[in-house]
Amino acid sequence: MTKKHSLLILMTLLFSCTNKRPFEKFDLSYSAEHADYSIEFTQSDTVFLRYNFSYLDIYDSIDAPKSKTSYYAILEKKDCNEFDNMLREVDFEKYDTAYYQDFVDGLEYKIYIKRRNLEKTIYIRSLHAPRELDALARWIDILVENLKLNKIDRELNFKSKLNSLPFIPPPKVISDDSL
């Protein structure tokens, strides 16, 4: 093996998520005023992301995520470690599968996790969600905003996909004059 190959292997080990991850599969779908996306964390340092909506679509002059577009990104080692530590501390088994309040606008997200003897989906649309889950979702949202995204032409499937209804325009107003 050449020095070049040895250096490449060493760099990969040092700067990627190579430890055993605390999940087999984890993805999160997140919808708020600024964005609607799904993100999947893999067993490596790669994440896959699908933007369903991005408020940045109106800015053609900047390089920003676009709606209905898929991406991948490489996580920094510190982000991998922080994410893994957060997941190790969350006891997903103790949480209900849904926390719901009926309101018009606001944040909603869905978490899917599979690890060891647990496979669970948790839906949140509530002001009274568990703090641990809100902290995890907020951390991921901040991470997403800072990722260096690379566009891909690939269909991505997420277990946590939100079933958002399409926008329905309001009915036409009929004036008294037209009757």
Q: What is the mean pLDDT of each run of 10 residues along the chain (179 residues)?
A: 45 53 95 90 96 74 79 97 96 95 85 95 93 96 95 92 60 61
User: In this predicted structure, what is the pLDDT of residue 172?
Assistant: 62
User: In this predicted structure, what is the pLDDT of residue 49?
Assistant: 96
The helix/strand/coil state of 37 is: strand
User: In this predicted structure, what is the pLDDT of residue 148?
Assistant: 95
User: In this predicted structure, what is the pLDDT of residue 177?
Assistant: 62
User: In this predicted structure, what is the pLDDT of residue 57?
Assistant: 67
User: In this predicted structure, what is the pLDDT of residue 141?
Assistant: 95
User: In this predicted structure, what is the pLDDT of residue 18?
Assistant: 53
In sequence order, what DSSP letters do the residues of 67-80 get, joined into one string? Answer: TTEEEEEE--HHHH
16-162 CATH: 3.30.1560
pTM here is 0.78
User: In this predicted structure, what is the pLDDT of residue 170?
Assistant: 54
User: In this predicted structure, what is the pLDDT of residue 4?
Assistant: 47
Measure Cα distances from 32 to 38, 66, 169 in Å: 12, 15, 20
Taking the CA atoms of residue 101, residue 103, residue 109 and residue 114 in that order, the dihedral angle to the nearest 10 degrees is: 30
Which tokens in the block code for residue 81?
């470690």
Measure Cα distances from 157 to 29, 77, 102, 129 in Å: 11, 25, 27, 26
User: In this predicted structure, what is the pLDDT of residue 104?
Assistant: 74
